[in-house]
Amino acid sequence: MSSPMMTRAAALLALAAVACTQQHLDPQPVTILRTGDRAPSADSTVAAARDRTAPAQARELYARDSIMAAAMMGCAPDVCSAVTRGEVTLGMSETQLMAATRTTPAAWSIRRAGDAAIYTSARMEQTPRDMVAPVALVQVQKGEVAAIAYAEPTGVRTVARAADATADAQARATAQALVREGDMLVAAGDLDAALARYDRASILLPNDPTLEYRIATVLDKQLRPIEAIVRYQRFLHQMELERIQAVGDAYAKQAEAIAHAKERIIVLEKH
C-alpha cells in the first residue's frame, strides 16, 4: 500500500474513533453545591412560618374564645351544658352553634334567605364537628338551630326533633342504616356479609323482631338449622304472640312471618 493511501486510511480511522468517543458530561454550569461550600439552613424558613402562622392562629383562638364567652352568657342550663360538652342541639343560637363546634365563622359557609340560614363546611376536607360526629349541615330558623345533618360512616343522619338527638335515636339510625346495607347484600347474594351487618345492627336494636326474623331467614338459607331455629324462636318470643294476636291488617305482614317461622321450626326440627 502506498504512503498516501495509508495516510488516508489512518485519517479515516482517527475520524471514526473521534466519532465513537463518548461525550463527556460537563456538569459545571448546573453545579449547585461543591465541596467547601456551605449548605443553606432552614432556620429562616421556620422563623418566617412562625411569624406568619402564629398571629393568624392567635386571632382565630381569640375569636373562638370570644364566641364561647358570648354563647355562655344567659344561656338556658341544658344549652349551656351542651355547649360545654361540645354538642350541637336544637334551639341553639348561631353563636352557640359555633361555640359547641369550637369554630369561628372562618370554618363555615353561611347562606342566608330571609330569617333562615344554612351552615355548611367552608372546605370540603375540613368539616366542622361536635362531640357526636362531623356536622355536614345546620339549618337555622329565626336565629335558632332547627335541623342538624351529621355525616356518619353509614350516611347522613338528620336531627330535626329533640327525640332524634338522643343516644337511642342515634343507635336506631345507625342500626337502620346497617339493616339497609344487609338487605342490599342479601339481594346481591352475599349472605355472609349481610349476616355480619344484621348482627351488628342487632346489638344496637336488641329487641327488634323484624331484625331477628331477617337473621333467622339468612341462617336458614345458609343451611345452619340449629342457629336458625333459635333465631326463629327468638323472633316468635319477641312478637309476644299471646298479646299481639296478629290477625288484623296492621299485623298482616308479621302474621305471615310468624306463620313462616313456625313452619320452618317444625321442618328444621324434623331434620
Nearer of residues 126 and 245 to other proteins, judged by Cβ: 126
Helix (H) or strand (E) holding 138: strand 135-141
- The answer to whether 171 and 148 have CB atoms below 8 angstroms apart is no
Interaction between residue 107 and other proteins (CB under 8 A): yes
CA nearest neighbour of 185 among 199, 204, 172:
199
Nearer of residues 100 and 228 to other proteins, judged by Cβ: 100
Measured distance CA(92)–CA(69) in Å, rounded: 15
Interaction between residue 46 and other proteins (CB under 8 A): yes
- Considering the complex, what minimum distance in angstroms separates the CB of residue 169 from other proteins? 24
**8, 59, 111, 237: residue in contact with other proteins (rule CB under 8 A):** 59
**6, 13, 14, 53: residue in contact with other proteins (rule CB under 8 A):** 53
Measured distance CA(240)–CA(238) in Å, rounded: 5
- The answer to whether 261 and 216 have CB atoms below 8 angstroms apart is yes
**6, 11, 15, 56: residue in contact with other proteins (rule CB under 8 A):** 56
CA nearest neighbour of 257 among 205, 204, 238, 223:
238
Residue 181: CB atoms within 10 A of its CB come to: 19
**118, 122, 147, 255: residue in contact with other proteins (rule CB under 8 A):** 122
Nearer of residues 38 and 243 to other proteins, judged by Cβ: 38
- The answer to whether 271 and 225 have CB atoms below 8 angstroms apart is yes
CA nearest neighbour of 186 among 220, 209, 155, 153:
220
Interaction between residue 36 and other proteins (CB under 8 A): yes
Stretch that binds other proteins, among 26-34, 136-144, 230-238, 255-263 (CB under 8 A): 26-34
Strands 135-141 and 116-121: antiparallel
Distances (CA, A) of 177 to 137, 214, 242: 19, 15, 31
**24, 112, 142, 271: residue in contact with other proteins (rule CB under 8 A):** 24
Map the footprint of other proteins across residues 185-244, applying CB under 8 A.
none
Nearer of residues 147 and 151 to other proteins, judged by Cβ: 151
Question: DSSP label at 163?
Answer: G
Interaction between residue 123 and other proteins (CB under 8 A): yes
| Interface characters, 63-102, with other proteins (x: CB under 8 A) | xx-------------------------------------x
Q: Which residues bind other proteins (CB under 8 A)?
A: 22, 24-25, 27, 33-42, 45-50, 53-54, 56-64, 102-104, 106-107, 121-123, 125-128
